[in-house]
Structure 1
Amino acid sequence: MWAAFGLLALFMLVEAVAAALTGSLALLSDAGHMFTDVLGIGMALAAITAASKASRTGQRTFGLYRMEVLAALANAVLLFGVASYVVVEAVRRISQPPEVLAGPMLAVAVAGLLANVVAFLLLRSGSQESLNVRGAYLEVLGDLFTSVGVIIAAVVITLTGWWYADLLIAVAVGLFILPRTYHLGRAALRVLVQAAPPHLDISAVRAALRAVDGVADVHDLHVWTLTSGMEVASAHLALERDADFAAVLATSRRLLHDRFAVEHATLQAEPADANGVCHESGW
């Protein structure tokens, strides 16, 4: 992942400089798309590093896991700005498309494609073992097609002199990035506002906990995402009079982990006849 990150970061800068020198919007949009690859792999590396090295202290009881989510939100904002600029600039140039240096544009686009192929091969095996790596792998796979589009535009300009090819590819890439930017930003905001994970049915979680032997009722149930792939839950379990306290807690934690992939659960057990001493929060 570090090798893929370094390679793509280098070629992202090369494409950005080449876009400025050649006047190609398609190259600029491809550099923006490659930026998504670099940020995606960077966030995956940040998550792995945080998981293995970040210490929990009295003031940071969950470590630094949320840094990945904040980086994702910043990524979405930057990408929206890049994609919007490319689309607006392409529309502005329609009436009089500027001359593009197709030769250098083609050379840089081919080099970018080769960089994506190498990164694709580097990440392929790890994508079967890690969700973080798989996300980066899919980002690079998408960028492969974008690089091919830029190459096609350069070839068309070289053979026909039809400058509009550069604008069309630029707009296509910009429009391709925008939906992904929206989904990335939406997912990051969903985590930051501590909404329940979209793939979890809270009613099903509540019903499963209620079905545990010795549990009379479940209340004050909360499930949220700490960072990608790390779900957290808390709940109050009202126990029947003859319930085995330790067995109920062990079974409930195992249920949340095995069935709902909740990595960390804080469960409060209380007698069912507590008469509302432990009651639902008023939020």
Structure 2
Amino acid sequence: MSYLDNLISRRLVFAIILTAITLVAEIIGGIWSNSLALLSDAGHVFLDLFALALSLGAIKLAAQPPGEQHSFGLHRAEVLASLVNGLTVFLMALGILYEGSLRLISPEEVKTIPMLVVAVLGLIANLLAAKGLHGHAHDDLNVRSAFLHVLGDAAASVGVIVGAVLMHYTGWYQADPVISIAIGLLILVGAFRVLRDAVHILMEGVPRGLSVELVAERIRSLDGVSDVHHLNLWAVCSHIFALSAHIEIEPGYDGQRSQLMQSIEHELQHHFHITHTTIQFDCSACNGGPLIKEFSHSERGAACSGHGH
């Protein structure tokens, strides 16, 4: 396991411990104060706890070496965990909207002081956990989905706090469901983004922020390269980008192909963070073909005769 994975794992463990403490506190506090909002939030915290454990397990799986059955290793486990996390966040948001609509129709009186105390403690725990994950949430999709879980629960805690204060001083018990519905809508947007990115990777999409043409232009700018075709660019996970391409060598190029290969790999890694490359050199007189190769289905037997695509 890399240093980065070890660091992320330690922060996930820290977040899991804080989330577990919050879960116990909100269950006890919800029963004590007769607060449906706290008990509902405890259910969301339980989903968060599950999601964080799933994210930690995905990192452990991704650290396993590649084998005959999984030649890229198990890095996609991170993406699958993100997909599951995104779905649970989505369901959590729907639960908030549903509970909020019910409380709008039939508001109930609660003990606001115990509710407020537990919600504040929960918010502090959520913010500490979110702070630990925030540094890696922009680059790692798996951590981002876990961070979204914790942040969503922190937002729910804020809603509970505001609702408790309003109910305590005004007696307007509809405040809690109104705030909960607003929070649910915000969480839905974040869940959609995580699901969109996870599906994009699983569908072998070009890494976000890159384009095939941009990468091809960088390769063409190197000395010794005449053209590029059959370029495929995809993300194995949020940290690993891969590329395969056919490179046409300029006529009269007298350098070593190994040196040209190193130059291409350096440019790709330095400028685009592409760390896995498969390059095939072609002569400039060959019929190159399009920049992006169209894949087509064929019978398995066709591959044996040398005509598989």
Return the TM-score normalized by structure 2. 0.77
How many residue pairs get aligned? The number is 279
Residue 268 of structure 1 aligns to which amino acid in structure 2?
Answer: Q
Q: Which runs of 5+ in 1 are unaligned?
A: none
2:280 matched residue in structure 1: 268
1:185 matched residue in structure 2: 195
Residue identity over aligned pairs, in percent, reads: 32
1:258 corresponds, among 259, 263, 270, to: 270
Residue 57 of structure 1 aligns to which amino acid in structure 2?
Answer: G
2:85 matched residue in structure 1: 75
2:36 matched residue in structure 1: 24
Give the Cα separation in 2 of the matches to 1:18 and 1:146: 15
- Give the conservation status (yes or no) of the 8 Å contact 2:26–2:41: no
SS at match of 2:209: coil
1:282 corresponds, among 264, 289, 294, to: 294
Q: Could you tell me how far 1:118 is from its partner in structure 2? A: 3.4
Residue 250 of structure 2 aligns to which amino acid in structure 1?
Answer: E
1:148 matched residue in structure 2: 158
- Aligned-residue CA RMSD (Å): 3.2
SS at match of 1:227: coil
Give the Cα separation in 1 of the matches to 2:291 and 2:191: 41
Residues 3 and 282 of structure 1: CA distance in aligned 2, closer, same or farther (over 3 Å)? closer
Residues 217 and 276 of structure 1: CA distance in aligned 2, closer, same or farther (over 3 Å)? closer
- Give the conservation status (yes or no) of the 8 Å contact 1:30–1:150: no
Q: Could you tell me how far 1:6 is from its partner in structure 2? A: 2.0
Q: How does 1:104-123 map to 2 (within 5 A)?
A: 104-120=114-130, 122-123=132-133
Structure with the greater relative contact order (CA < 8 A, sep ≥ 6): 1 or 2? 1
Q: How does 1:1-283 map to 2 (within 5 A)?
A: 1=11, 2-12=13-23, 14-15=25-26, 22-25=34-37, 28-29=40-41, 32=44, 35-36=47-48, 39=51, 43=55, 45-46=56-57, 48-51=59-62, 53-120=63-130, 122-123=132-133, 127=135, 131-132=139-140, 135=144, 140=150, 143-243=153-253, 244-275=256-287, 281-283=293-295
Q: Could you tell me how far 1:77 is from its partner in structure 2? A: 1.6
Give the Cα separation in 1 of the matches to 2:71 and 2:291: 25
Give the Cα separation in 2 of the matches to 1:181 and 1:121: 19
SS at match of 1:56: coil
